[in-house]
Amino acid sequence: MDIIKDLENKLKGLLESLRVEFQTIRSSRPSARMVEDIKVDYYGQMTPIKALGSISIVPPREIDISVWDRGVATAVAKAIEESSLKISASIDGSLIRVNLPALTEERKKELEKVVKKITEDTKIRIRGARDESNKVIKRTEEEGAFSEDIAFKKKEDVQKVIDRYNGEVEKMMDSKIKEILE
């Protein structure tokens, strides 16, 4: 049982889920991730947009969705408009165009707050993973498998890993906020 390796694996998962969550937050640049997981009622099944057509980016601020079934275009446009993105979509046959308006200063500040909250939630989960690892170290020490010195060293190693991942989270947050504010 390698406590550090288990902790690293947990933290990698947390970092990846943070990265994915940040991709869904709107910035000045369009991203397919913004719309691909929006669910659409397709013949009674809630289906993500990515399963109904191809998504492409048209610089500087347009997302085009080319649906394979022309009959679902209206439902896709409606689902986009009802999403939390607060954007409108126009239909041209089987093509749905989503123009991202420039972000207002007020909206940028709102999105910055959202990014900071998501970051704080991730840091809380990281602290939980640290506490879990430290409990395992303490239990192992009490069982006699570790000496007090080894347990102390392992706790130091855990903290080093936590500090490194917290730094990564901060970098990701700063990068996303910079992207939103540009």
28 belongs to a structural domain: no
Query: What is the structure's pLDDT at 33?
Result: 83
Q: Where are the beta strands (DSSP E) in 6-93?
A: 39-42, 45-48, 53-58, 62-67, 89-92
For residue 26, is pLDDT > 80?
no
93 belongs to a structural domain: yes
**pLDDT per position as a tens digit, 62-90:** 899 999 999 899 999 999 888 877 788 89
For residue 60, is pLDDT > 90?
no
49 belongs to a structural domain: yes
Q: Which amino acid is at 58?
A: V
In this structure, the answer to whether residues 41 and 95 fall within a common structural domain is yes
Domain membership of residue 156 as a residue range? 3-23+104-181
Cα separations (Å) of 105 from 55, 71, 93, 112? 28, 38, 34, 10
CA distance 91 to 79: 13
In this structure, the answer to whether residues 19 and 88 fall within a common structural domain is no
In this structure, the answer to whether residues 112 and 176 fall within a common structural domain is yes
Query: What is the structure's pLDDT at 100?
Result: 83
What is the average pLDDT value for the chain, to the nearest integer?
Answer: 90
141 belongs to a structural domain: yes
In this structure, the answer to whether residues 118 and 163 fall within a common structural domain is yes
Query: What is the structure's pLDDT at 1?
Result: 59
In this structure, the answer to whether residues 93 and 131 fall within a common structural domain is no
Domain of residue 167, CATH code: 1.10.132.20
What pTM was estimated for this model as a whole? 0.72
Q: How many domains does the chain have?
A: 2
Q: Are strands 39-42 and 95-99 parallel, antiparallel or unpaired?
A: unpaired
For residue 158, is pLDDT > 90?
yes
What share of the chain in percent tops pLDDT 70?
99
**pLDDT per position as a tens digit, 78-137:** 998 888 777 888 999 999 999 887 788 888 888 899 899 999 999 999 999 999 999 999
Per-residue confidence band for 145, with pLDDT thresholds at 50, 70 and 90: confident
In this structure, the answer to whether residues 172 and 108 fall within a common structural domain is yes
Q: Identify whether the C-beta of residue 35 lies closer than 8 Å to the C-beta of residue 49.
A: yes
Q: Which of 79, 99, 119 is the last residue of a domain?
A: 99
